[in-house]
Structure formats: C-alpha cells, structure tokens
C-alpha cells in the first residue's frame, strides 16, 4: 500500500442510516458514493466474535485510472444514542495483483474463523445488481 495516501472519512449522503440497517440499504448508500462501474471487488467480513452483527464491515476496491486499486472500508459507526452512520475510509492504493494477498493478511490478523465473502464486480453494473439482489433475497429469507 502507498503510505503517502492520506486516510479520509467520507460520509455517505447525510451519513445516517438506521442502526439496524440492512446490508442491502448499506450497499445502496455505497453505490451512491462510489458508482458500481468503478468497483472492482467487495469483501464482506463477518462481525468479530462477541460483537453485534452490525459490526460487519465491507472492504472494497475502486478501479483507478492507472489500473491500480484504491482500498476502502465501509462500516457502521454509532453516534451517542443517535442512528449510526456508514463511514467510508480510504486506506491507500495497491497494484491490482497484490490486493488478494493484502486481504488474506487482514483476514489472518483479524482471526476470523469464517472467511470474508468475496464478490467480484469488475466494474460491471450488472454484477453489482446481482450482488444487491441476492443480498436482498437472503435478508428477506432470514
């Protein structure tokens, strides 16, 4: 990763989403901030052990003009008894072919027993829509 890239926090829309917000809603907010044709991959990390389910977070890569990938996370952050807001944080950039190693290293450091779910979008709006639709269906069946 490029250590010279500043970390920035970007709130999506007005930032506030229901703290019980579904993943489908969170993906909708994300797509308003980063258009799906710019998204290369998404990884959905499960919550850490002994932490509420809303602590799951997304890592995603944005396709940059030079072919590298911008690395971002999206997570819910509570605000002192008010609804949580989803925060998108830029973590840097990496060559496209080294992203998988970075994600594997993060997974090991977090100590998750269940691997992160990987969804390849490859800048394809139809793939993004399939991911959103499958997420919505899975949430409806829960």
- Check whether 7 has a pLDDT greater than 70: no
At residue 105, φ and ψ (nearest 5 deg) are -65, -40
- Check whether 97 has a pLDDT greater than 70: yes
Over residues 32-89, the pLDDT tens digits come to 889 999 999 999 988 766 655 556 789 999 999 999 999 999 888 776 766 677 888 8
Please give the mean pLDDT across all residues of the chain.
80
Classify domain 9-141 by CATH architecture. Answer: 2-Layer Sandwich (3.30)
Q: Output the furthest CA–CA distance in the chain (Å, rounded).
A: 44
pTM score, two decimals? 0.77
The residue count of the chain comes to 142
- Helix pair 23-33, 125-141: axis angle to 10 deg: 160
Which two structure tokens, joined as six digits, stand for 35? 């258009």
Domain positions in the chain = 9-141
Number of Cβ within 10 Å of residue 5's Cβ equals 13
CA pair distance 82, 67, nearest whole angstrom: 40
Q: CA nearest 85: which of 12, 14, 15?
A: 15
């Amino acid at each position: 990763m490029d250590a010279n890239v500043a970390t920035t926090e970007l709130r999506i829309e007005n930032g506030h989403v229901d703290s019980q917000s579904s993943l489908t809603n969170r993906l909708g907010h994300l797509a308003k901030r980063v258009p799906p044709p710019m998204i290369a991959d998404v990884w959905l990390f499960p919550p850490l052990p002994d932490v509420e389910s809303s602590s799951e977070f997304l890592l995603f890569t944005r396709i940059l003009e030079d072919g590298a990938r911008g690395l971002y996370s999206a997570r819910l952050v509570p605000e002192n008894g008010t609804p949580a807001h989803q925060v998108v944080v830029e973590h840097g950039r990496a060559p496209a072919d080294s992203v998988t190693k970075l994600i594997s290293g993060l997974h090991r450091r977090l100590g998750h027993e269940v691997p992160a779910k990987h969804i390849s979008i490859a800048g394809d709006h139809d793939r993004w829509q399939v991911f959103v639709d499958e997420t919505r269906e899975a949430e409806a069946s829960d």
